[in-house]
Amino acid sequence: MPEQPPSRDLPTRMMISAAALMVLVLKLFAPQRVDITAVALLLLVLIPWMSTILTSVDTAAGGFVLREIRRTQGSQQDEIGRMKFLFEHLIPAEELRHLQHLADDTPLPYDRGYTRPHLDAELRRLAGVGLIARKPGKSISGMGDTGDVREHFTITDTGRTYLEILQTFRS
């Protein structure tokens, strides 16, 4: 079933067509009759309506299907929306904060009593999906009671790419 043009475009299409038809009628009553200007005006009359009747265009560079492009574009927009949702919700806020601190070299202090209960699990998860890596000779169990996470972990290239993609979705 052919796609219908949005109704808000109808007045614009009608105005363009009416104006071009009026000039064309005046041109036909002129002494030169049909010339290149008249042909151009006739094409101008048809252009606003082409998307309602035309499904493809053949050019010197090849043909393409207009309605299929619209359909594909809509499908891609839906897919981008789903990807955006996944990227924004894949990493919990607290883990994302750890990742951002490691990326911009901001101190990420911890202590055994307050932050460590969940920190170990968050760091294991980030390392497990490849967004951060343990520094050589370092481990979660060897972190001690207090310190800075940056002394034990570093962000990976994958982690930086994740943050860049996330930033593009948010801007």
- 114-143 pLDDT, tens digit per residue, is 677 788 899 999 999 999 999 999 988 888
pLDDT band at 148 (very low <50, low <70, confident <90, very high): very high
Identify whether residues 81 and 95 lie together within a single domain.
no
Identify whether residues 98 and 154 lie together within a single domain.
yes
Identify whether residues 80 and 97 lie together within a single domain.
no
Question: Coil, helix or strand for 51?
Answer: helix
Q: Is residue 1 part of a domain?
A: no
pLDDT at 19 over 60: yes
Q: Which residues are within 8 A (CB) of 146 and not within 5 positions of it... i.e. 6 or more apart?
A: 109, 110, 111, 112
CA-closest candidate to residue 165, choices 71, 90, 62: 90
Q: Is residue 109 part of a domain?
A: yes
Identify whether residues 141 and 125 lie together within a single domain.
yes
Q: Which residues are within 8 A (CB) of 151 and not within 5 positions of it... i.e. 6 or more apart?
A: 135, 138
Identify whether residues 60 and 117 lie together within a single domain.
no
Question: Coil, helix or strand for 100?
Answer: helix
Identify whether residues 100 and 54 lie together within a single domain.
no
Q: Domain residues for 143?
A: 91-170
CB 46 within 8 A of CB 13: no
Identify whether residues 100 and 166 lie together within a single domain.
yes
Identify whether residues 121 and 137 lie together within a single domain.
yes
Q: What is the CATH number of the domain that holds 111?
A: 1.10.10.10
pLDDT at 163 over 90: yes
